[in-house]
Amino acid sequence: MRSDVKHFWCEIEDGIARIALNRPERKNPLTFESYAELRDWFRELVYADDVHAVVILPNGGNFSSGGDVHEIIGPLTAMTMKELLAFTRMTGDLVKAMLCCGKPIIAAVDGICAGAGAIMAMASDLRIATPEAKVAFLFNRVGLAGCDMGACAILPRIIGQGRAAELLYLGRSMSAAEGHAWGFFNSVTEAASLESAAMEMAGRIAAGPTFANSMTKTMLAQEWSMSLEQAIEAEAQAQAICMQGKDFRRAYEAFVRKEKPVFEGD
């Protein structure tokens, strides 16, 4: 998987990709270019055998302030409907690429996590925060609907319909304590240990059965729109596929030897 990106920071080592937006002096806003490059990078990730987990890190004490006011918000006010729809579809494609990349994503959130930054955290599989983290879906505050980049579909599934409605209607910040109590954050840790906590979790995932984890991520996304009967059948098929993999046999043979299994992702 390529790490030579231009509009965000990326480092890949030991099966874990660490990425971060790299404009800390502006609280890491997104631009047209970073949206597109992130979308393309996550699309390519599904084919990357050298990456088993992704950690999205803060930079300079903040996760992301969302779309850049001057480089995105201003130009949007002068666009035609066709241009606006192309932009909103492109931002939505970033979320779809994250959901379909086949690799578990951990968001390590510190400081400001707003707008599209909050969406990226929401679209991740797991989220860890510092006590200083503030998550805000700010679209209402700039005269836009809360239904942006899948927020009305995904956020209620994480924190519940009523709590999601409150955040989307008011555009207010959700504190780390609220986010943890509501299930948005899996855990809260001090800033000094945020990256190590995220990397420890990513390491445990990367050491697990890669193909099976990819299947789990796929099912978590696809089963939203299935009936219970359809979901059970889909899981039966997915598990049967995993049972043909070598990792399943490795786990069994390690159990017989009373050893910890070592997975190779095939």
Instruction: For residue range 11-40, list pLDDT tens digits in order.
Output: 999 999 999 999 999 999 999 999 999 999
> What pLDDT score was predicted for residue 3?
86
Strand partners of residue 106:
55, 126
Entry pTM: 0.95
Residue at 264 is within a domain: no
Residue at 266 is within a domain: no
- Which residues are CB-neighbours of 181 under 8 A, at least 6 positions away? none
Examine the domain organization and report whether 162 and 230 are in the same domain.
Answer: no
- How does pLDDT run across 188-242, given as a tens digit for each residue? 999 999 999 999 999 999 999 999 999 999 999 999 999 999 999 999 999 999 9
For 165, the domain range is 9-206
Examine the domain organization and report whether 93 and 42 are in the same domain.
Answer: yes
Examine the domain organization and report whether 135 and 99 are in the same domain.
Answer: yes
Q: Has residue 266 got a pLDDT over 80?
A: no
Residue at 3 is within a domain: no
The pair of three-digit structure tokens given for residue 46, joined into one six-digit string: 């599904």
Q: With CA atoms as reference, report the closest residue to 114 among 75, 149, 161.
A: 149
Examine the domain organization and report whether 136 and 235 are in the same domain.
Answer: no
- How does pLDDT run across 40-52, given as a tens digit for each residue? 999 999 999 999 9
**Cα dist from 160 to 1, 117, 152, 164, whole Å:** 36, 20, 11, 6
Examine the domain organization and report whether 141 and 93 are in the same domain.
Answer: yes
Backbone angles phi, psi at 137, to 5 degrees: -95, 90
Sheet of 16-20: strands edge to edge?
Answer: 9-13, 16-20, 53-56, 105-109, 126-129, 187-188
Measure CA of the first residue to CA of the last residue in the chain; give whole Å.
18
Q: Which of 185, 206, 227 finishes a domain?
A: 206
Characterize 39-59 residue by residue with b for buried, 16 or more Cβ atoms within 10 angstroms of its Cβ, and e for exposed: bebbbebeebeebbbbbbbbb
- How does pLDDT run across 139-184, given as a tens digit for each residue? 999 899 999 999 999 999 999 999 999 999 999 999 999 999 999 9
Residue at 4 is within a domain: no
Q: How many domains is the chain partitioned into structurally?
A: 2
> What pLDDT score was predicted for residue 70?
84
CA distance 20 to 26: 13
Examine the domain organization and report whether 129 and 189 are in the same domain.
Answer: yes
> What pLDDT score was predicted for residue 108?
98
